[in-house]
């Protein structure tokens, strides 16, 4: 897979984890049955938040590598990019 495709995948996973964090925090704030859930939603929210940060940082790292490989001022033909 190309670097740009991996960046899209990692950004999508990061956004999914952010959504999961919000969902688990909402369940923690307003649970259907507090005795059943306990602290699980907060643990899951923390895990999802940590994964969201990790995926975001990995995506940013790939973006940095792409900037180093192809500097802004560099001109590359389509043939050179596919090689």
Q: Check residue 74 and report its DSSP letter.
A: -
Weakest-pLDDT range from 4-8, 49-53, 55-59, 75-79: 75-79
pTM equals 0.74
Instruction: Please tell me the distance from the alpha carbon of residue 20 to that of residue 45, in angstroms, as a whole number.
Output: 7
Query: Per-residue pLDDT tens for 15-47?
Result: 999 999 999 999 999 888 878 888 899 999 999
Q: How far apart are CA 56 and CA 62, in angstroms?
A: 10
CA quadruple 14, 18, 23, 27: dihedral positive or negative? positive
Region 63-72 average pLDDT: 68
């Amino acid at each position: 897979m190309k670097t740009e495709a991996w960046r899209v995948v990692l950004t999508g996973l990061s956004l999914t984890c952010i959504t999961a964090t919000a969902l688990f925090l909402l369940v923690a704030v307003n649970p259907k049955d507090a005795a059943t859930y306990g602290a699980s939603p907060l643990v899951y929210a923390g895990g999802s938040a940590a994964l969201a940060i990790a995926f975001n940082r990995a995506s940013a790292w790939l973006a940095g590598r792409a900037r180093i490989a192809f500097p802004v001022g560099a001109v590359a033909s389509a043939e050179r990019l596919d090689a």
